[in-house]
Structure 1
Amino acid sequence: MSFAFDYDLLRELTEARGVSGYEDRVRGLVRRELSETTDHVETDAMGNVVATIEGDADYSVAVAAHMDEIGFMVRHVTEDGFVQVDPLGGFDARVLRAQRVTVHGEEDLTGVIGSVPPHTLTDEQRERNDEVSDLFIDLGRGGEEVSELVSVGDLVTLDQTTTILGDCITGKALDDRVCVFAMIEAARRIEEPDVTIHFAATVQEEVGLRGAHALGVDIDPDLAIALDVTVANDVPQIGKEADAVTELGAGTAIKLKDSSVITSPKVHSRLTSVAETEGIEHQHEVLPAGGTDTAGFQRSNGAKPVGAISIPTRYLHTVTETANADDIAGTIDLLTAFLESETGEHDYTL
């Protein structure tokens, strides 16, 4: 299948490992790519990457997408060599059993999250809700060897490759590497903007929008646009169309609200107008639960106009996150067109 974007880079970004607070491997890729297309690149004390294209106007726009993925930190190693973990980000523990992981100890070690065979489950075990604290990782090694290779504080990531699935792309960490990728693609296309654009790859979004909050103060933009995935529950188990939030293949999503932010009406109206003018297929997103970096910029250094563009994605926070290729391309197109048409003269105040 041919794509209107650099699929190899998207695969590289999504397959890289980088849990909240430890985004080093992803940060290296982002710096490599953005240093080729922007005027200068900086990294702050938290690990946020900010790559800037200088414009002529005394007006700045921040575009943010987060680098971190959900993962774990080792909290205990048993005498028998089983590893217990603490979550970094929001997991549904039901989907974790029998998954393959990588424990980043003295070396990268393949492990599996253990699952008791259904043949031997007690009635109590069948009825109990899974918790991350109940999980254990089996490294296939004895206790003495594991204790030499794994320590409290080591990181654990879910193990999955990225691949093409019909008209879609599926893998781990599309949340939010697919949006980091969209931001990089837009930076490649924009050459001489009227306004200064800060392309921000943020850290620790999955544990509380922490990187974006810091950047809202440090770069203090006049306008902020965040990029993230959003829920696409357009699957048989969801009974009502309204509960689907967005639909794969129906276009990029312009966010109206989530549980952390109500986007600025004049910003999402202009995003919609740009999409209509450019003939970019789009849909509007009302997300009942979940937050994004949008909220990190809205009020961290005084009130700021904010908007958000989302990529509809099925099976969020699993290793099979799935997005439609045309929706990804549309997101890149809308972000690029919006930034190229931003003059600093639009009045977003209410």
Structure 2
Amino acid sequence: MSTNDFLETLCNTHSISGNEFNLKEIIISTFKNYTDNIFTDDLGNIIALKKGYNNEKNIKVMLAAHMDEIGLIVKYIEENGFIRFTSIGGIDPRTILGQEVIVHGKKDLFGVIGSKPPHLQEKDEIDKAIKMEDMIIDVGLNKEQLVNLVNIGDVISIKRNFKVLQGNRVTARALDDKAGVATIYECIKELSKLYHECDVYFVATVQEEVGLRGAFTSTYRINPDIGIAIDVGFGSTPELSKAETLDMGKGPGITIGGNIHPGLREKLVNVAKEYNIPFQYEVTPGPTGTDGRAIQITREGIPTLCLSIPLRYMHTSVEVVDTLDIKNTAKLLAFFVSSITNENLEGLLCY
């Protein structure tokens, strides 16, 4: 399967935090041809192992990207059949009004998110953003019909399919961080062409959007020598500061900050320069807000890196990435992993 086709399949399959199981067979069946072992842990993380050659010191490198996405959850069913809901993960209510949704009950139900029409709003309401608690989902059923199909706690996804834009750009919901999972897949394929001594663990983590939970447990189990989080960063748009964004199509952002091991970061930059792989810097003084944070503070501490794929309109249903950035991120990861050897690891990890 091509990486673009894999990304489209991921994005068109809902995997709201805590409900990532829909992706299990898709990811396992895609990864298994390139790895030596693959399994799912007790929390739902998918862990694939590609063994190295002559790995005398049992070096372990972990690459992690989260497969969960933000979404909604049924909170209450009104007497008239309208559904009250709240969010799973960070959703800006301004982006969801008027959206089409799928309520994942006993069967999938199409619905729309509505609220009081502007014509009927009070003067003090007109200039204010509508709160999520003032929105409802209408699936066209009364309560008697609806309660047979929908329960409190059922998840709801925004109905938005993967689309190709001009050039190398694509748009979908949940490219945060299914673009990262696709990058791992591309990396696996690249790495199959290269000699590498270390064992590589490719992890599709769960529940990142609600607390980095999958990264904590999978890192604890693997206990890697090096952990690398692959996530997304803020893609540049005219209204955003250049200092706080990444340009689309110009390679991944290599994170600099307290979450990141300086020696490994320097090695990563040198590998990018050696192989003419475009990259950018992403300055994050504190915790990155990615799986990298969880990886770094697991057990006695894991030397950590973070790579960010530029992404526009984060946490909306129309996120945009450039597939060239996915390819270059994967290529950089593959060459970096192949550069880690039994001889140089100890020196790289020294402060």
- Which bracket does the TM-score occupy, shorter chain normalised? over 0.9
Task: State the partner residue of 1:242.
Answer: 243
Task: State the partner residue of 2:124.
Answer: 124
Task: State the partner residue of 2:229.
Answer: 226
2:290 aligned to which of 283, 289, 292: 292
Indicate conservation of the 8 Å contact 2:115/2:134, yes or no: no
For 1:237, give the aligned amino acid. Answer: E
Task: State the partner residue of 2:87.
Answer: 87
* Structure 2: distance between partners of 1:252 and 1:71: 26
Indicate conservation of the 8 Å contact 1:231/1:287, yes or no: no
The answer to whether the aligner puts 1:272 opposite 2:269 as a matched pair is: yes
Q: Which runs of 5+ in 2 are unaligned?
A: none
Task: State the partner residue of 2:321.
Answer: 323
Distance change (3 Å), C-alpha of 1:119 and 1:287: farther
The answer to whether the aligner puts 1:202 opposite 2:205 as a matched pair is: yes
Indicate conservation of the 8 Å contact 2:105/2:151, yes or no: yes
Q: Which runs of 5+ in 1 are unaligned?
A: none
| Range moving further from structure 2, 8-17 or 189-198 | 189-198
| Range moving further from structure 2, 338-347 or 214-223 | 338-347
Query: 1:250 offset after TM fit, Å?
Result: 2.1
CA deviation digits over 1:245-280, x for unaligned, max 9?
Answer: 2111222211114xxx52111111111111111101
Indicate conservation of the 8 Å contact 1:61/1:197, yes or no: yes
CA deviation digits over 1:304-336, x for unaligned, max 9?
Answer: 110011100000000100011221221111111
SS of the equivalent of 1:36 reads helix
Task: State the partner residue of 1:255.
Answer: 255
* Structure 1: distance between partners of 2:224 and 2:242: 37
Task: State the partner residue of 1:335.
Answer: 333
For 1:94, give the aligned amino acid. Answer: R
TM-score by length of 1: 0.93
Task: State the partner residue of 1:54.
Answer: 51
| Range moving further from structure 2, 32-41 or 248-257 | 248-257
Q: How does 1:154-169 map to 2 (within 5 A)?
A: 154-167=154-167, 168-169=169-170
Task: State the partner residue of 1:182.
Answer: 183
Backbone CA RMSD of aligned residues: 1.6
* Structure 2: distance between partners of 1:328 and 1:208: 25
Identical counterparts, % of pairs: 35
* Structure 2: distance between partners of 1:53 and 1:312: 27
Indicate conservation of the 8 Å contact 1:60/1:197, yes or no: yes
* Structure 2: distance between partners of 1:11 and 1:281: 25
Task: State the partner residue of 2:138.
Answer: 138
* Structure 1: distance between partners of 2:141 and 2:296: 49
Indicate conservation of the 8 Å contact 1:111/1:138, yes or no: yes
* Structure 1: distance between partners of 2:218 and 2:176: 20
Query: 1:41 offset after TM fit, Å?
Result: 0.6
SS of the equivalent of 2:306 reads strand
Query: 1:287 offset after TM fit, Å?
Result: 4.4
Query: 1:290 offset after TM fit, Å?
Result: 5.7
| Range moving further from structure 2, 77-86 or 288-297 | 288-297
Task: State the partner residue of 1:19.
Answer: 16
* Structure 1: distance between partners of 2:150 and 2:314: 29
* Structure 1: distance between partners of 2:27 and 2:318: 23
